[in-house]
Amino acid sequence: MPPANQDVQSAVLPAIWDSSWLCASSQSGCPSLIQPASQCPARDTSSQEALRSCFQPLSECQPSQGTSSQSQRRVASAAVARAVPASPGKVTEAVKEAIDTGYRHFDCAYFYHNEREVGAGIRCKIKEGAVRREDLFIATKPPHPEWIMSCSELSFCLSHPRVQDLPLDESNMVIPSDTDFLDTWEAMEDLVITGLVKNIGVSNFNHEQLERLLNKPGLRFKPLTNQIECHPYLTQKNLISFCQSRDVSVTAYRPLGGSCEGVDLIDNPVIQRIAKEHGKSPAQILIRFQIQRNVIVIPGSITPSHIKENIQVFDFELTQHDMDNILSLNRNLRLATFPITKNHKDYPFHIEY
């Protein structure tokens, strides 16, 4: 596992939130590792076997040959495959554009409902010889098979395209699992040992949960990264320091933030001023801010101009004064609060960090 203070230009991967979510990534093998939910096993299957059957063996995939320059790999991250609402085909085209532009890290999830399109874009560029499969870092977060099966039996799913994948009760709150996330982690470790994935990690873990995982007796693989919401309105200083002190890298999602007191982060006067001083866009300032904190960044876009803009962040550097001014914007404004999961025993945001 690379140390947490490695150059962030080599991006890493995200993985599980609580006992009901599994994640995995691969640097060789199939661009799309996840089978459709309907092909996953019934819930009476053993935990390890249930997980394995939702993945294709890497040996069944045949990456094409191609070349990739060093400059193409100098990427903070890619994540055009994040939860970006788009009509069919747009995600595939965005992935192809991103690969041509130099992105090599794609952050996916079953919840985003676009992994087939992501895989189509990747396969196209591999076939063209524009990139090799082993040059790509593809992360995903598949749901536990029990959730898939139980959801199909419930009539309480909301109309939201991602919420409807969850089993909900009459109050539209998630029906919690009593599974210990340490048991889930053991099943994920088995995926690494059997060669189905290359690395595993966590997402939205607070420092107490991460400490419990790191102190797990018989731990075979440490989490490679903790994927968390992070932007100047939620700087996550304490959690980032904790993760990096334990050699767990941090991946920032929603790096462009949202609104605080009616002002969008990207329109904040401080961000606007710094962007003007450097001749860069506000988005580029926000991405560069995370890179200089040694945090991996996963912005998302399907717009070609934004895809290109988001990677043009290696030709300038923020001053310490810039960094301090941006850090001063912290409001502890959490945008992703997952309110329908607040009744879960592993809900991570009940403590400070």
Q: Are 51 and 72 in contact (CB under 8 A)?
A: no
Say which of 112, 233, 253, 347 is annotated catalytic.
112
- How far is Cα 195 from Cα 67, in angstroms, rounded to an integer? 25
Contact 307/97 with Cβ under 8 angstroms? Answer: yes
Strand order in the sheet with 202-203: 202-203, 225-229, 249-253, 296-297
Q: Can you tell me the distance from the alpha carbon of 300 to that of 320, in angstroms, rounded to the nearest whole number? A: 27
Beta-carbon neighbour count of residue 325 at 10 Å?
A: 16
Distance CA 109, CA 81 (A): 9
Best CA proximity match to 77, nearest among 102, 109, 97, 114? 102
Would residue 206 be called left, alpha or beta, if left means φ above 0 and alpha means ψ between -120 and 50 degrees?
A: beta
For residue 228, the SS3 value is: strand
Does the active-site annotation cover 353? no
- Are 238 and 52 in contact by the 8 Å Cβ rule? The answer is no
Active site residues: 112
